[in-house]
Amino acid sequence: MVNTKKVALTGNEAVAQAMKQINPDVVAAYPITPQTEIVQFFSSFVANGQVDTEFVTVESEHSAMSATVGAAAGGARAMTATSANGLALMWEVLYIAASNRLPIVMPVVNRALSAPINIHCDHADSMGARDSGWIQLYSENAQEAYDNVIQAIRIAEHPDVLLPVMVTMDGFIISHALENLEIIDDDAVKEFVGEYKPDMHLLDPDNPITMGPLDLYDFYFEHKRQQAEAMKNAKKVILEVGKEYGKLTGREYGLFEKYKLDDAEEAIIVLNSAAGTAKEAVDALREKGKKAGLLKLRVFRPFPYQEIADALKHVKVVGVMDRSEGFSDFGGPVFSQVRSALYDLKQDIKVVNYIYGLGGRDIAEEDFAKIFGNLEKIKTTGKIDNLVSYYGVRE
């Protein structure tokens, strides 16, 4: 394994540090709370000559993604970062980036979408972009955010993938909280990500190409099918890169993390920072003899439906935690995907949904203990009173 250094950094500092070590060719960015510090820290690396990056200051997030798309189309390794309404303002260009198969990497600091205006954490922003063609990696803490950004470069640029990747972490809870983590040597990161050498780009006069042309019914369908196949390929690449990163650092990453799940009868599925709190609740329940377990989902796109079904096939009841509301009258986006993944098992696994933490509302260990209590009641009675519950809301 490579040498590592223990440091205390906020999530935003950790991500900026990863970007510094990656040393991208171009970063185009616009500030928005709680992401602002990422590009603020990175801009100081540019000003101090610590990176070779061309830093482009723009007038909006739409322009930030547009400039990043232009840079990537020209053969540059390009990055940006955003949050919430900034991600929403990029909406049109998110699809263009993915459809043009541009391996952009973008940290997203999760924040509630307006209105009303709220600057705190929930997952409405990244979940709203879940079908835009971007790979999505979720991070429990600053360490994972740092590690995910470095791995994202390799995943995005793999020739079997060539899709953009967003790396998320929870706003303020992780982005502004100081944590102990390990960072690896600059040279090791440089070697791990390698040099970006695209096969095709717009600034290659010897091999001219057209990018983003009019694409009507005669070819559009085929291009979407290719894009879908690339997303399918990404699952294998994510696992390969995670194993290689594990050999380098001792921290191997998969599609999800199983925590005391192998013999669990009641399980919770959760993303990002709340997983740490849920683990404490699982530990406490295990000490009382309860068979509680946790599946922390790391990769939401591509959605690992087969692997999730295999991991949960022995569980009696599953509580899916959604930190966003899908406004479908059928629960949140993670719930609908998990429930669908378990359908083909043809087993009587009870699956219920808990919408929680919207707008940054906290969830504590005792809250997870209560949720596990609800799951145990469902297991015992076989009866589901509420398929979808709004946990912690004042009804």
The pLDDT tens digits for 276-315 are 999 999 999 999 999 999 999 999 999 999 999 999 999 9
pLDDT at 246 over 90: yes
- For the chain, the structural domain boundaries read 4-249, 256-390
Q: What is the Cα–Cα distance from 2 to 195, expressed in whole angstroms?
A: 19
197 phi, psi to nearest 5 deg: -130, 85
Specify the residue for token string 């510094």.
20
- Strands laid side by side in the 292-297 sheet: 256-259, 292-297, 266-270, 317-322, 350-355, 388-390
Among 274, 267, 272, CA closest to 361: 274
Question: Can you give the pTM of this predicted structure?
Answer: 0.98
**Which positions ≥6 away from 125 have C-beta within 8 Å?**
83, 84, 85, 87, 88, 108, 110, 111, 112, 113
Name the pLDDT band for 346 (thresholds 50, 70, 90). Answer: confident
Identify the pLDDT of residue 1: 83
Relative to beta strand 135-138, strand 105-110 is unpaired
Identify the pLDDT of residue 336: 97
- Strands laid side by side in the 135-138 sheet: 54-57, 26-29, 78-79, 105-110, 165-170, 135-138, 299-301
Specify the residue for token string 């509680």.
292
Q: What is the Cα–Cα distance from 350 to 215, expressed in whole angstroms?
A: 45
pLDDT at 395 over 90: no
Q: What is the Cα–Cα distance from 175 to 144, expressed in whole angstroms?
A: 12
Specify the residue for token string 């205006």.
117
Q: What is the Cα–Cα distance from 140 to 294, expressed in whole angstroms?
A: 13
pLDDT at 44 over 90: yes
Q: What is the Cα–Cα distance from 47 to 232, expressed in whole angstroms?
A: 40
- C-alpha pair distances (Å), 226 with each of 19, 160, 233: 29, 10, 10
Q: What is the Cα–Cα distance from 186 to 20, expressed in whole angstroms?
A: 9
Q: What is the Cα–Cα distance from 196 to 192, expressed in whole angstroms?
A: 11
Identify the pLDDT of residue 3: 87
**HSE (CB half, 13 Å, CA atoms) of 335?**
25
Query: What is the pLDDT averaged over residues 206-217?
Result: 93
pLDDT at 10 over 90: yes
Identify the pLDDT of residue 80: 98
Termini Cα distance of the chain: 52
Question: Would the CATH topology of 4-249 be identical to that of 256-390?
Answer: yes
Give the total residue count for the chain: 395
4-249 CATH pick, 1.20.20.10, 3.40.140.10, 3.30.930.10, 3.40.50.970: 3.40.50.970
Q: What is the Cα–Cα distance from 75 to 198, expressed in whole angstroms?
A: 6
pLDDT at 95 over 90: yes
Query: What is the pLDDT averaged over residues 190-206?
Result: 96
Tokens of 44: 């100081």
Contact 162, 229 (CB under 8 A): no
Name the pLDDT band for 87 (thresholds 50, 70, 90). Answer: very high
- List beta partners, residue 28: 56
Q: What is the percent of the chain where pLDDT is above 70?
A: 100
Contact 165, 203 (CB under 8 A): no
| Domain 256-390 grouped into CATH 3.40.50.920 | yes
Mean of the per-residue pLDDT values of the chain? 97
Specify the residue for token string 């599925």.
269
Name the pLDDT band for 82 (thresholds 50, 70, 90). Answer: very high
**Which positions ≥6 away from 33 have C-beta within 8 Å?**
83, 111, 119, 171
Identify the pLDDT of residue 195: 97
pLDDT at 6 over 90: yes
- C-alpha pair distances (Å), 5 with each of 9, 38, 181, 193, 327: 12, 20, 8, 19, 44
